[in-house]
Chains A and B, each alone.
Chain A
Amino acid sequence: METAVPNTGTEDKLWGGGNKPLKVTYGKMMMWFFILSDALTFSGFLAAYGFSRFKFIDSWPIADEVFNHFPFLHGVDAPMYYVALMTFILIFSSVTMVLAVDAGHHMKQKKVILYMFLTIIGGIIFVGSQAWEWKNFIKGEYGAVETKGGQILQFVDAEGHRVSLNDVAVIDTHKERVRHERKNGIWYTDEGTLPTYTIEEIRNGFAKKSDLLIRTQILTEDGHKTVLSREESLKKLNAEAIGIVEGANLRHNEYGTPLFANFFFFITGFHGFHVFSGVVINIIIFINVILGTYERRKNYEMVEKVGLYWHFVDLVWVFVFTFFYLV
C-alpha cells in the first residue's frame, strides 16, 4: 500500500519520522479530517435551523403539507414517500460504493468498475430528484396572502381542505395591469413578475364565497394550523393582507415563514452541491479505474478515499432527512 505515497526513507526510524501512530496513509487521514470539518459546517447549518425553529416553534410550517408530491401522481397527497425513495437511492449508492471498495481490496477491476458505475448512477438520480423537489417547492401549490407583518394567510374550505388562489379570486378584467419593464418605462427601474391575482380580486372573491375560511401560521396544541372563524377571517383579510405569494423564494414563502425556505434552499442546496461534487470525483476515479491506473499502482486506495467522501454525503442526508422531513 505504500506505493500510493512516495517513500521518504524514514521507514523504521522511530525518531526520524518513521512512526505512524494512526496506521493510515496521509491521504486517508486527511480525508477523515476534511470530513470532520465538513461535518461541523453541516452541523452549524442544522443547528442554525434548529435555532430558528425553536424561535418560531409555534408557527413553523408542517413539512408533510409542504413536501407531498410524487412523480406522476398529480394532486395526490403523498407526504414523505418521495423523500423516502430519495433516501433509499442514496443509501443504496452508498452500498454499491462500499462494495466497490471491497472489490478493490481484492484487486477485482471489473467489479470495481461495475459498482462505481452504479454509485454514479445513484448519485445522478439523487441530484435529479432534489432538483424536482426544489421545482415543486419554488412553484408552490395553493398560493397564500401575506400580511403587513409578514405573516402568511392560507385559504381553506369548511372541511379544512386547502383552497388555491384561483378558486378564491373573482377576476376583475378592468384592473389588469402590465408588468413594468425597463424597455417601456424609466430605464433604471423594473419590477419582478406580477402575481396572477391582485389582493383586491382575492378580497372580492373571499367576500362572495361564504364557505371559505382563513388559516394562519399559528399551530394549535395538537399540531395543526389555526383556522379562524368567518368573521375573524374577513376582518383579518381586509385589515392586514397586503399581497399575494405564490410559491417560495428567499424573501416570500407561501408555506409560512421565509426562514423555512431559506434553510431549505441553503441546506439541501449545500448537500446537493456535495452530491454533485461527489459524482464528479467519482467519475474521475471511475475513469482511472477503467484506465487501469490502480491496477498498475497495485492498490485501490483512491477508491477508498472517494468512498469515504461518498458515505459522508449519505451520512449528512440521513440528518437532513430527519430534521427537515420527520421532526
Chain B
Amino acid sequence: MAHDTAHHESNTKRIWNVFIILSVITIVEVILGIIKPAFLVDIKLVSMKLLNWIFIILTIWKAYYITWAFMHMEGETKGLRRSVVWTSVFLICYLIFILLTEGDYIYEVYKSGYVSWDF
C-alpha cells in the first residue's frame, strides 16, 4: 500500500516467487498445448474437452496471481477489492453464458435447419 511509505518492507522475494509460479504455469500450458495428451482430449466435461478446462483453470490461476501480487489487490481494502473483482466476475460470467448458449443454438440451426451454407 502506498500510504506508510516510511515502513514499507521490500516485496522483492515475493515478486520473484510469483514470477516463477507464472512461468511454470505458462510452461505447463505450452507443453500441454504441444503434446495434447490423448486422454485429456478424449474426456468431455460439460461439452468441452478436459484439456480446454485445464487451460482455462490455469489461466484464471495466472490471472489471480497477476491481480493479487503484481497489481497488489491483496493489499487493498475489502471494499475496493470487491467492487472491482465481484463486478467483473459476475458480468463476465453472465456474458459468456448467454453468448456461448446462443452460439451453440446457431450451430444447431446451421446443422439441422433447412438453410444450406456449404454449397
Contact = CB atoms under 8 A, between A and B. Distances in A.
Interface string B102-119: 111011001100001111
Contact size class for A? 35 or more
A33 B84 contact: yes
Interface in A141-197: 147-151
A308 B71 contact: yes
Given A105-B8, A327-B55, A327-B56, 18 more contacts: A1-B2, A43-B95, A47-B92, A52-B103, A54-B100, A54-B107, A58-B111, A95-B18, A95-B19, A99-B12, A99-B15, A106-B8, A147-B119, A299-B5, A311-B70, A318-B59, A326-B32, A327-B52
A51 B103 CA distance: 5
A54 B103 contact: yes
B80 to A, nearest CB: 4
A79 B52 CA distance: 17
Given A36-B87, A106-B10, A148 B119 contact: yes
Contacts of B19: 91-92, 95
Nearest to A216: B118
Given A23-B3, A91-B22, A325 B99 contact: no
Interface stretch (A80-88, A126-134, A204-212, A269-277): A80-88
A102 B10 contact: yes
Contacts of A311: 66-67, 70-71
Nearest to A222: B41
Nearest to B73: A32
Contact of A87 (B12, B26, B102, B106): B26
Interface residues of B, number: 59
B76 A315 contact: no
Interface of B: 1-3, 5, 8, 10-12, 15-16, 18-19, 22-23, 26-27, 29-30, 32-34, 41, 52, 55-56, 58-59, 62-63, 66-67, 69-72, 76-77, 79-80, 84, 87-88, 91-92, 95-96, 99-100, 102-104, 106-107, 110-111, 116-119
7 contacts: A1-B2, A1-B5, A24-B80, A84-B27, A97-B70, A149-B117, A308-B71
B66 A314 contact: yes
A29 interface: yes
A105 B79 contact: no
A25 B23 CA distance: 32
Contacts of A214: none
Interface in A95-142: 95, 97-99, 101-102, 105-107
Contacts of A312: 71
B59 A322 contact: yes
Contact of A319 (B63, B77, B79): B63
A11 B103 CA distance: 53
A304 B2 contact: yes
Contacts of A307: 70-71
B118 to A, nearest CB: 5
Nearest to A25: B2
Nearest to A91: B22
Contacts of B96: 43, 47, 50
B2 A95 contact: no
Contacts of B92: 39-40, 43, 47
A307 B110 CA distance: 46
B26 A23 contact: no
